[in-house]
Chain A
Amino acid sequence: MSADVDLDHVTIRFGGFTAVKNVTLEIKGGEFFSILGPSGCGKTTLLRTISGFLEPTEGAVRIGGQDMSGIGSNKRPTALIFQNLALFPLMSVAENIGYGLRVRGVRKAERRRKADELLALVALPGQGDKKISELSGGQKQRVAVARALAVEPKVLLLDEPLSALDLRLRQHMRAELRAIQKRVGITFIYITHDQGEALTMSDRIAVMNLGHIEQVGEGRTVYDSPATPFVASFVGENNGLTGAVAAVREGLATIDTALGALRGRAGPGLVPGAPATLFIRPEALKPSAAGATPDLTAEVGGAAFEGSFTHVALRAVNGQALTMTLGRDGDAGALAPGARIGLTFANADALVLSLPASG
């Protein structure tokens, strides 16, 4: 059983500080939904509001169509996985998983059966009698998932649970979490500041900044067509060149920057003369072919070989730092530090977004 989660114009204030500003989200039942944002953007506050530890100052939270106001966290059909997992250290693995059932008066033998079943689901069969302190980080992760699933929630809320793991394990657990979500079929709401996690696992992503939602969409959409300059620079790396809009024609915008006039896809609401930023992904930048007129010229600062690709740090003629990512086929070897090279990009790979009026 899964349930829709509707946030209807939710605002949360702590004294004079507004942590969440007028957020409206419709999360579909059975969806893997991520809320992505930098630390302090209000995403954890939002999650705690869905789980019932906080009440919204304004607006409503509805789960499965039912208004949750006045319903405590222990009565909601949600289960929360804490950032530090918050497993009970004095209980065994099986007792941890069975805790929610014990609260509900389920008998011991039945609790044990359910715990073993869930341990199999999270790929930890036969570990029920272990102590929590005997588990590795990844195993604790799985136990926390099993404990949350034991109460058969309609919505599982995850508060950056992978942040304490090392990179390799984190990547493995991403796939694992995604697989578990597919198997149990309930709604997952996942909070993270790591865009890689959000992009790999989610059906949809909401990008959050300073208490409000900047964009909601599928990972590919958010990456390829960011709606705001914040999303463009927060989700994935981006080179931003600021200037004034010169012209908008046939979906392409020309923008006058300190490095000359450049063209890219036009974002929404561009007005000639208004300030805007041209975003070019590092992987969209290429060294220009010999003889061709480059779009930009820059000096090579250094190249960092990362295995399957090479990061090149560049400095444009006006001193602005740029980065370029070259695949193995790119001629990265020729880029000696200090060399002056021409750069080019396809106009369709660049995006011009208007800057917010206030700046």
Chain B
Amino acid sequence: MTNPITIAAIFIGPLAVILILFLASRVERRRGGAGAEPGFFQRNGAPVAIFLLVAVGFWALFLIVFPQLYMIDYSFHPKLPQLKRGGPEDVYTLENYRYFLFGSTRDASHWNTTHLHAFWITIFVSVLITIANFAICYPLAYFMAQVAKPRVVLRLMLLLVVPYWVNEILRAFAFRVMMGTGGVINGVLLGLGLIREPIDFLGLDVALYSGLTYAYILIMMFPLYNAIESLDRNQIEAARDLGAPWWHIHLFVVMPYAKPGIASGATLVFMLCAGALAAPQVLGGPKTLWFTPIVYDRFFQAFNWPQGAAYALILLAACMAFVLLVMRLFKVSLSEIAR
């Protein structure tokens, strides 16, 4: 890490980008001539403008850009004791990524099936949970946005929000208690005589998947509700008047309109789900595979920070790929999702 070129790249790179952008804006303003709108400083006053620039700059650089760059750099270094850092053995290497794929820093003869499997399960299940969340939230969001009276909407909103006042860990433990072999659900099923043996919801990952689905309902709900709420009711009626059955109206009028909301909710739920740490740790069974606890273990069990960084980056790359895929599929832009 004491490699001077690295430090130069990390600190000077972003500063250079900022400087270039600043100069570009100056040039543009000059070209714009007298007709250009008043400058940033004139509009806000110098003290506010300086504060905004410093605050946003600090936030973007020190809280987002630098840590990420640091992690990227870290992931390409070998694990070394403190004393050897910056020494002749501290070279750029792909061994951490190699370990993810093959389970060894050198050998490439066997696949690292445990980690790869956990990774794919995480991605795959996150996609399924995203779809499940959409399936649960869409009818509810539609009902609240277009059908229900304001008073009902308010009550439903409250019912949705109140559970989130309880913190995440507590909610996860509540699920664990409820779904355990001696829990309420098994108790009811046994009592009704539907089953003879208690079902191991935790070991079968039912608890984890339903817990994750439940945890992100609101994240899907609000973008969907906002999108559908702004749809003119007359359009739904016009489609109906033209003879459309209800499913046709949803598929070809409401959903295309709500597309930015759907994309926004889907990407958020997917990212949070794939990156969830507490729920898998609390609700996972002994054989549960989830990628984030593995990343966590790289850092705090194996004390292999470079490897942890590499794993975290692989997850980040997968999430970004998912977002790009969703944007492509839904033909929406980043600004529409962010709205």
Contact = CB atoms under 8 A, between A and B. Distances in A.
B242 A99 contact: yes
A20 B238 CA distance: 23
Interface in A49-89: 51-53, 72-75, 78-80, 82-84, 86-89
- Among A83, A100, A150, max chain B CB count under 10 A is at A100
Interface in B137-157: none
Interface stretch (B51-59, B88-96, B166-174, B243-251): B243-251
A80 B243 contact: no
B163 to A, nearest CB: 35
A90 B244 contact: no
A100 B243 contact: yes
A78 B238 CA distance: 11
Given A88-B253, A90-B257, A104 B243 contact: yes
A80 B232 contact: no
Contacts of A167: none
A103 B241 contact: no
B241 A84 contact: no
B25 interface: no
B234 interface: yes
B256 interface: yes
A151 interface: yes
B237 interface: yes
Interface size class of A (residues with CB under 8 A): 20 to 34
Contact of B245 (A86, A87, A103): A103
- Among B232, B241, B244, B252, max chain A CB count under 10 A is at B241
A147 interface: yes
A88 B242 contact: no
- Among A75, A103, A104, max chain B CB count under 10 A is at A103
B240 interface: yes
B242 A151 contact: yes
B333 to A, nearest CB: 15
Interface string A154-185: 00000000000000000000000000000000
Contacts of B245: 74, 103
A74 B257 contact: no
A99 B237 contact: no
A99 B240 CA distance: 11
Interface string A23-55: 000000000000000000000000000011100
A79 B242 contact: yes
B238 A90 contact: no
Contacts of B240: 53, 72-74
A74 to B, nearest CB: 5
A148 B237 CA distance: 13
A99 B241 CA distance: 11
Given A86-B232, A90-B257, A51 B242 contact: no
B146 to A, nearest CB: 14
Given A73-B237, A103-B239, A103-B244, 5 more contacts: A72-B240, A74-B244, A99-B242, A100-B243, A103-B245
Interface of B: 232, 234-235, 237-245, 248, 252-253, 256-257
